[in-house]
Amino acid sequence: MLDFPRVAQEIALLLVPVLMGITFHEVAHGYVANWLGDPTPRLAGRLTFNPIKHLDPFGTLAFLLTRMIGWAKPIPVNPRYFRDPARGMMLVALAGPAMNVVLAVCFALVIRLVEYAAMGVLPDTVAYRIFEPLAYICAAGVQVNIALAAFNLIPIPPLDGSNVLAAFLPPHLAARYMDFGRWGFFLILLLAVTGLLGTLILPVVRFASRLLLL
């Protein structure tokens, strides 16, 4: 049977890190695109840290069901505004995972502060009841953001890694490669169902989490 209290607890611990992770990820894409001369994200109202503007209903449902994978609405970007479209798309793509790495480091630093503040705090006190879940949320924030960075850097269109790889391909090959994006989502689902997605991502998450949480 499904352990509803445990599932609810998992979702509660992951909710803030996931919302922050996907929101900051998409906003980073938008700000870099805007900085490179593309006003599309700004005109679409996506340069906001309001998570509701970025949530995708199916991506949110996937996260609630799996507590592992989910996605946001992609930021609209028009590469025609970029001086070098391939390089511009690569920089926009890298901005999202880079932001997730920054967030993971920030969550790790907050854990250090919590551990310092909790020194000498006795169990069954109000302070302990605040510090303990906060530490768990921050630990989840490290893992979630590393997972988001690693997942998005997989070079399967339409993930961010595909725009990075496409920047290094000849234009005709890059165009054919990016056309695969119409099937990329199904390939990602296949990897998730077969467990291969976890095989790719989990070692990265474990290594980076150990590094940040030493």
Question: Cα angle vertex 7, ends 191, 9, to 5°?
Answer: 125
Instruction: Point out the residues of the chain with pLDDT beneath 50.
Output: none
The whole-number pLDDT of residue 155 equals 95
Burial of 157 by CB count in 10 Å (0-12 exposed, 13-18 middle, 19+ buried)? buried
SS3 28: helix
The whole-number pLDDT of residue 137 equals 93
- Which residues belong to the active site? 26
The whole-number pLDDT of residue 13 equals 82
Cα separation, 135 vs 1, whole angstroms: 29
The whole-number pLDDT of residue 154 equals 94
Residue pair 41/72 in contact by the 8 Å Cβ criterion: no
| Residues facing 103 on adjacent strands | none
Residue pair 188/159 in contact by the 8 Å Cβ criterion: yes
The whole-number pLDDT of residue 163 equals 96
Q: Which two tokens stand for residue 110?
A: 């907050």
The whole-number pLDDT of residue 66 equals 65
Residue bearing tokens 């989840």: 140
The whole-number pLDDT of residue 59 equals 77
The count of structural domains within the chain is: 1
Residue pair 55/71 in contact by the 8 Å Cβ criterion: no
The whole-number pLDDT of residue 132 equals 84
The whole-number pLDDT of residue 139 equals 93
72: left (phi over 0), alpha (psi -120 to 50) or beta: beta
Residue bearing tokens 């919590």: 114
The whole-number pLDDT of residue 180 equals 87
Instruction: Kindly state the DSSP code that residue 155 receives in the 8-state scheme.
Output: S
Burial of 4 by CB count in 10 Å (0-12 exposed, 13-18 middle, 19+ buried)? exposed
* Structural domain range at position 184: 4-212
The whole-number pLDDT of residue 122 equals 67
